[in-house]
């Protein structure tokens, strides 16, 4: 694996953990696709740094469990015109 890809995977995971953010927000911040963020954090990072991977996995699982709530809020705001 290329060193820049490995570094990106670590930086993405650190960003997600520090900011308690979603894959979509991390992708926007780093200028990459959601698929890239997901692959870096779930697959590549697992081999590179298992401890950091576990921390990032915890944040991603929490976000996955809460996504239906955020979607409901977004829909409500859309129809309220905000």
Proportion of the chain above pLDDT 70, given as a percent: 96
Please give the average per-residue pLDDT across 43-55, as a whole number: 94
Please give the average per-residue pLDDT across 13-42, as a whole number: 95
Q: What is the pLDDT of residue 44?
A: 94
Inter-residue contact 56 to 17 (CB < 8 Å): yes
Torsion of CA 81, 65, 55, 13, to 10 degrees: -40
Q: At what angle do helices 23-30 and 3-19 cross, to 10 degrees?
A: 130
- Helix-, strand-, coil-residue percentages of the chain, each rounded to 5: 85, 0, 15
* Residue of higher predicted confidence among 33 and 63: 33
């Amino acid at each position: 694996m290329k060193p820049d890809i490995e570094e990106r995977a670590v930086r993405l995971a650190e960003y997600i953990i520090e900011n308690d953010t979603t894959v979509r927000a991390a992708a926007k911040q780093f200028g990459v696709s959601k698929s890239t963020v997901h692959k870096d954090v779930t697959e590549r990072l697992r081999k590179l740094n298992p401890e950091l991977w576990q921390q990032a996995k915890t944040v991603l699982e929490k976000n996955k469990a809460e996504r239906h709530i955020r979607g409901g809020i977004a829909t409500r705001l859309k129809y309220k015109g905000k």
